[in-house]
Structure 1
Amino acid sequence: MKVLVTGGAGFIGSHLVRQLLAADHEVTVLDNVSTGTWQHLPEGKDTCTCWEMDIRDKSAREKMEQGRFDVIVHLAGQTMVDVSIKDPEFDAAENVMGTLNVLEAARHSGVKRIIFASTAASYGDVAEDKLPIREEETLAPMSFYGLTKVTVEKYLQLYHDLYGLDYVALRFANVYGERQGDTGEGGVISIFAKRIAKDQGITVFGDGKQTRDFIYAGDIASGIIAAMTTDKANAVYNLSNQTETSLLELIDLMAKASGKTVEPDFAAPREGDINRSMLCNEAAVQNLNWQPQMDLGEGLARTIAYFKSC
């Protein structure tokens, strides 16, 4: 298939592009490289078509329309909770208006399906008796980042109902792996992994008992590819390991993976962070014929090794 990956030079995008190329898809990457880099791609720009553009720009929409893609995988956008709270206008411009540009390009150029990267942050802080969280759970985001993802999911539903554009929205659990950013709040594992690899201290916001459902980026990529061809489209699916891991447990696993002693510092909880999170992946397993493969311990070892090599 002819596939456009927005944000393809970023963290998850780089894992996806590798798998798409291995499956002999024709891949184009659109990225403004504000957080990603072309060096994330295998052999840089030489293995696929690369457009350095911003999804918010009219020129990007025109380029997307001219591409006549079969599928668009839309990963580009603002991904940090703290940034969304500090600057909700920027967050909406990236994640809502930028996505509308992508959707308009898709409907005007005969794109068959769009795959959208949504988030576990769409659910907010769900009561413990409702874990693992199913797709039907009430959406109550605690940050503007989560709100923009919920908003786009509604746009996708209407674009399907009004224009016939097929979609699959994938709510990612906490993704980790090689090439993840380690600035801001980008990802707790990448932040910890880099600091552990460099023999630097780590800080836990809160008491460390808060939990997340960690999933390796390669498993997210395989889930996206499964969503490209499923006959159960026009739906939302959680992509997760359906396993709850506390930050204290995570630190122990990372210490074992690195062979180092890790003693964290503790700081006040951050605004907008949720306490516990674990997503039910049964719908994705059944309807996408997908299953996460990476063991957390092995994934952490790979991630730490990557940061040691940087």
Structure 2
Amino acid sequence: MKVLVTGGAGFIGSQLVDLLLAEGHTPIVLDNFSNGREENVQSGVKIYRKSLLSDKIERIFKKEQPDVVMHLAAQVSVAKSLESPAEDAAVNVLGTVKLLEYCTKYGVKKFIFSSSSAVYGYTSEVIHEDSPTSPISFYGTSKLVSETYIKLFNRLNDLPYTILRYANVYGPRQRSDGEGGVISIFIEQLLRNEAPVIFGDGNQTRDFVFVDDVARANLLAITNADNQIINIGTSTQTSVNLLCTLLSNQLHSSLTPDYKPKRQGDILNSHLSNAKALDNLKWAPNFNLISGLEKTVDFFKINNNFI
């Protein structure tokens, strides 16, 4: 099956491309390389270096005729979305709508969308797919608006979809610069013998899900969970303070965290139920936090010249 992966040179997308290859599919990468890296993509995979907003995207659909589109490319920085909401909306909303139009025009069989737990906003409860959505950042808003367009394209044009709302994804290849995930940032700070920086009091919780499990959820969505929204998380929550302690123990560091003021747009708690993923996507995480952190730490040691 031919699969167009937007953001296919990025952290999650490139590992999804690896999995698609291993399963006998033909992935095609669309990436503007603002965050992606060419070394993430296996040789022989066709790459188109284009922005989602480029008028030349339609040519790719016309030439390649993909069976499935997996849309991972996005403006992912919460802080940047608050600083530049128009840019965030242009990439995340308009970019998605343009893809949906091309999918409809060129007979794509399914659209698989990478959404985010940021659509939910503040909550102290376990989050289910029917929990209220009230995002507190423009990033979360752009993901929620994109979901609405996807559902309407399905209703009006019969374009099948699966929307995957990710918890906090971490693992090898995640960048620690810019809006990198807290785990990759902590690891690099500790490896450089710098105090890990925690924004807020560190009691905020996150549901950390390993990137291999997220890639597998996308693969399963090709043949499961049509026209459904699915949380992709571990059904557990971990405080940022505990996360810092776990990583410090793995790296044999005694550094004390450096606490900074809470950042605008950061949610307090995230704890996603994955019951629907198990029932409808036939997915459950294979990695717990300890095993996932071990693989991530090993990657950063090897690839950042710390050993």
TM-score, normalised to structure 2's length?
0.96
Match of 2:179 among 178, 185, 202: 185
Superposed, 1:164-179 pairs within 5 Å as: 164-179=158-173
Counterpart residue number, 1:276:
269
Superposed, 1:242-281 pairs within 5 Å as: 242-281=235-274
The alpha carbon displacement at 1:138 in A equals 1.0
Structure 2 unpaired stretches of 5+: none
For residue 72 of structure 1, give the secondary structure of its aligned residue in structure 2. Answer: strand
The alpha carbon displacement at 1:96 in A equals 0.6
Match of 1:60 among 57, 61, 69: 57
Counterpart residue number, 2:297:
304
Match of 2:286 among 281, 293, 300: 293
Given the alignment of the two structures, is residue 144 of structure 1 paired with residue 138 of structure 2, yes or no?
A: yes
Q: Which amino acid aligns with 2:70?
A: V
Looking at structure 2, the residues matched to 116 and 65 of structure 1 have their Cα atoms a distance apart, in angstroms, of: 21
Looking at structure 1, the residues matched to 92 and 63 of structure 2 have their Cα atoms a distance apart, in angstroms, of: 22
For residue 155 of structure 2, give the secondary structure of its aligned residue in structure 1. Answer: helix
For residue 121 of structure 1, give the secondary structure of its aligned residue in structure 2. Answer: helix
Counterpart residue number, 1:41:
41
Q: Which amino acid aligns with 1:116?
A: F
The alpha carbon displacement at 1:10 in A equals 0.3
Looking at structure 1, the residues matched to 236 and 27 of structure 2 have their Cα atoms a distance apart, in angstroms, of: 32
The alpha carbon displacement at 1:279 in A equals 0.5
User: For 1:216-275, what per-residue CA distance to the aligned partner results, in whole angstroms no more than 9, with x for missing partners?
Assistant: 010000001111111x31010000011100001101111122222231000110001111
Asked if the contact 1:65/1:108 (under 8 Å) is kept, the reply is: no
Looking at structure 2, the residues matched to 195 and 64 of structure 1 have their Cα atoms a distance apart, in angstroms, of: 42
Given the alignment of the two structures, is residue 78 of structure 1 paired with residue 75 of structure 2, yes or no?
A: yes
Counterpart residue number, 1:227:
221
Counterpart residue number, 2:23:
23
Q: Which amino acid aligns with 1:13?
A: G
- Identical aligned residues as a percent: 41
Q: Select between 261-270 and 162-171 the one with higher mean Cα deviation.
A: 261-270
Looking at structure 1, the residues matched to 35 and 16 of structure 2 have their Cα atoms a distance apart, in angstroms, of: 16
Q: Which amino acid aligns with 1:218?
A: D
Asked if the contact 2:207/2:236 (under 8 Å) is kept, the reply is: yes
Q: Which amino acid aligns with 1:266?
A: Y
Looking at structure 1, the residues matched to 192 and 61 of structure 2 have their Cα atoms a distance apart, in angstroms, of: 41
The alpha carbon displacement at 1:196 in A equals 1.4
Looking at structure 2, the residues matched to 236 and 65 of structure 1 have their Cα atoms a distance apart, in angstroms, of: 28
Q: Which amino acid aligns with 1:34?
A: S
Given the alignment of the two structures, is residue 88 of structure 1 paired with residue 82 of structure 2, yes or no?
A: no
Looking at structure 2, the residues matched to 47 and 241 of structure 1 have their Cα atoms a distance apart, in angstroms, of: 34
Looking at structure 1, the residues matched to 233 and 107 of structure 2 have their Cα atoms a distance apart, in angstroms, of: 31
Given the alignment of the two structures, is residue 117 of structure 1 paired with residue 114 of structure 2, yes or no?
A: yes
Asked if the contact 1:2/1:26 (under 8 Å) is kept, the reply is: yes
Given the alignment of the two structures, is residue 214 of structure 1 paired with residue 211 of structure 2, yes or no?
A: no
Q: Which amino acid aligns with 1:268?
A: P
Structure 1 unpaired stretches of 5+: none
Counterpart residue number, 2:101:
104
Looking at structure 1, the residues matched to 41 and 257 of structure 2 have their Cα atoms a distance apart, in angstroms, of: 33
Asked if the contact 1:20/1:27 (under 8 Å) is kept, the reply is: yes
Asked if the contact 2:196/2:244 (under 8 Å) is kept, the reply is: no
TM-score, normalised to structure 1's length?
0.96
Count of aligned positions: 303
Q: Which amino acid aligns with 1:150?
A: L
For residue 222 of structure 2, give the secondary structure of its aligned residue in structure 1. Answer: helix
Counterpart residue number, 1:160:
154
Asked if the contact 1:114/1:166 (under 8 Å) is kept, the reply is: yes
Match of 1:194 among 181, 188, 191: 188
Looking at structure 2, the residues matched to 132 and 210 of structure 1 have their Cα atoms a distance apart, in angstroms, of: 14
User: For 1:195-232, what per-residue CA distance to the aligned partner results, in whole angstroms no more than 9, with x for missing partners?
Assistant: 112222211000000000000010000001111111x3
Counterpart residue number, 2:11:
11
Asked if the contact 1:251/1:262 (under 8 Å) is kept, the reply is: no
User: For 1:41-88, what per-residue CA distance to the aligned partner results, in whole angstroms no more than 9, with x for missing partners?
Assistant: 23xxx2311111111111012212331111000000100100100110
